[in-house]
Amino acid sequence: MRSKVFINGEFYDREDAKISVFDKGFLYGDGVFEGIRAYDGKIFKLDEHVDRLFEGARAIMLEPPYAKEEIKRIIIETCRINDVKDAYIRPVLSRGIGDLGLNPFLAKRASFVVIVDNLVMYPQEIYEKGMPVIVASTVRSSLNALPPVIKSLNYLNSILAKIEAVNVGVPEAVMLNESGFVSECTGDNIFIVRKGVLITPPREAGILEGITRKTVIEIAKKHGIPVEERLFPKIDLYIADEIFLTGTGAEVVPVTNVDKRIIGNGEPGKITKFILEEYRKLTRTEGNPIY
Ligand code: PMP
């Protein structure tokens, strides 16, 4: 696709979209980012994504170079310049240019980048048949170390688990926290269904509080499906009736195999299919218009 990238006030062609090697985001993963989607000319849950970006920035004492409303305007403008209706949008706030030391406050001004790209989705077949996952041996970062609540530029914890998944030929890995409870996947939240109840790990499990996760909980409650946010161990994955993952890019993706255990009857379950359908309806009705 024709692609223009916003960097600190200017639009650059993809090939010329470059950030300094002295940027703390590059040197130390010092920054925060978002993954947003546009559907049919509308940006889904823009406010929620920008709120989360700003919360992360506040937590790491990073002063965004633009006010919140301006950031939203820039995101919409970048979509417009790229002439897209359906897209994946990646805003990035990094600490900016400083010296080689760790002190973040020596960087004078944070950098803000917006990349608009084609969708990176799982293949259609996965939505029809479900996908296999593994439980990674890499433990999710502790809430008191590198809190998964912050969508920081340091994704090495997820990448270590993703390597485990790719090495055994599956697309995603479920991660447990230090206490052995299920937390989330490398880039998606997780839900299980047991006896008609939808269960998902709470924020204390060490998760990114996914915007898709929140939307799915709202959909379930609206339709009278009971939802529990509670801790559960790995064994509950193996005996679940249904499992699905949620994320902005993935939407709602059925999981039919965990560590070679067949989930339910080996096909996407009824509740999973219902939630996916309702989620897709919502993404096509709500959102901030680009044009
Ligand atoms: N967990 C992690 C680790 C993620 O990176 C993401 C986003 N890709 C999610 C969960 C899902 O969050 P959201 O629904 O807001 O995209």
Q: Which residue has the tokens 């090697």?
A: 21
Q: Which run of H or of E encompasses 164?
A: helix 156-167
Query: Which atom of ligand 1 sits closest to the CA of residue 184?
Result: 1
Write out the CATH class of domain 4-117. alpha beta
pLDDT at 224 over 90: yes
For the annotated catalytic residues, the residue numbers are 151
pLDDT reading at 41 higher than 60: yes
> What ranges do the domains of the chain cover?
4-117, 124-283
Supply the pTM of this predicted model.
0.97
Q: Ligand 1 centre from 213 Cα, in Å?
A: 8
| Residue 94 C-beta-side C-alpha neighbours within 13 Å | 24
CA atoms within 13 A on the CB side of 287: 21
> Which residues are CB-neighbours of 94 under 8 A, at least 6 positions away?
19, 23, 24, 25, 26, 30, 31, 110, 111, 113, 153
| Model confidence pLDDT, tens digit, residues 159-195 | 999 999 999 999 999 999 999 999 999 999 999 999 9
Per the model's pLDDT, the better-predicted residue between 2 and 33 turns out to be: 33
Residue with CA at minimum distance from ligand 1 atom 5: 187
**Cα-to-centroid distance, 100 and ligand 1 (Å):** 30
The model's confidence at residue 154, banded by pLDDT at 50, 70 and 90, is: very high
CATH superfamily of 124-283: D-amino Acid Aminotransferase, subunit A, domain 2 (3.20.10.10)
